[in-house]
Amino acid sequence: MGALNYARFIKKTLSSDEYRQKNTPNYKPLEEAKPYFLQAVKDEKGTQFESSAYEAILWYYVDFMQREVYDALDGYASERKLTNKNMNKLYKEVVTYLKHCGDKNVIIQKSVTSCMAQLELIILASELKAVPSLREVADNYVWQVSKKHFQNATASIPKEECLADMIAYFVEHKEELVKEHEFNQAFYDFIEKRIAKV
């Protein structure tokens, strides 16, 4: 139980933005919690805390996936080339633990899928910035993903309208877009659901 408690302490306290801003020597990057989560999964195998250990490591991965999304938002703003390699690597690790997580599986899977689809939509928006007629749509979509990231941006097109335009363009130009980037299954599932709604 010690490894699990310490991993949670790193995740919730020592790696928090507030703790980092205090510039305390005890600050630890979130990555430093991983070995303790992995140890907790081993330590708690067969105990009453086994599902708690699996759930904790999965939420750790969700946090990392959310950070990938935020990093992509920063990359979009600086016009850096965006990729999903880290997200796909994280997903492969998540899959190994998901089956052990019991009744929380559905909630965690939704969070994981949401992060993956969000990242792909940001990547799609960055590709669409090169299309003059869609630059404003792409910007407006990304600005509305996280208002915290783009506090000074004023959206002029509703997010749903941006999504509809982006998806329509993707469907029409899929062949050329997939040459540039390999989209993940969460993205395709999201697109299918959106098209089915229309």
| Cα R_g (the chain), whole angstroms | 19
Confidence grade of residue 138 (pLDDT, cut at 50, 70, 90): very high
User: What CA–CA distances, in Å, run from 139 to 28, 127, 153, 169?
Assistant: 34, 11, 9, 15
pLDDT higher than 80, residue 102:
no
pTM for the full predicted model:
0.89
pLDDT in tens, 3-50: 999 999 999 998 988 888 887 888 999 999 999 999 999 999 999 999
Distance between CA 110 and CA 83 in Å, rounded?
21
- Letter for the amino acid at 34? K
Give dist(CA 185, CA 117) in Å, integer: 8
- pLDDT tens-digit map of 157-190: 999 999 999 999 999 999 999 988 889 988 999 9
CA distances from 130 to 56, 107, 115, 148 (A): 40, 36, 24, 25
| Greatest extent of the chain over all pairs of C-alpha atoms, in Å | 58
Q: Tokens 């989209």, residue?
A: 183
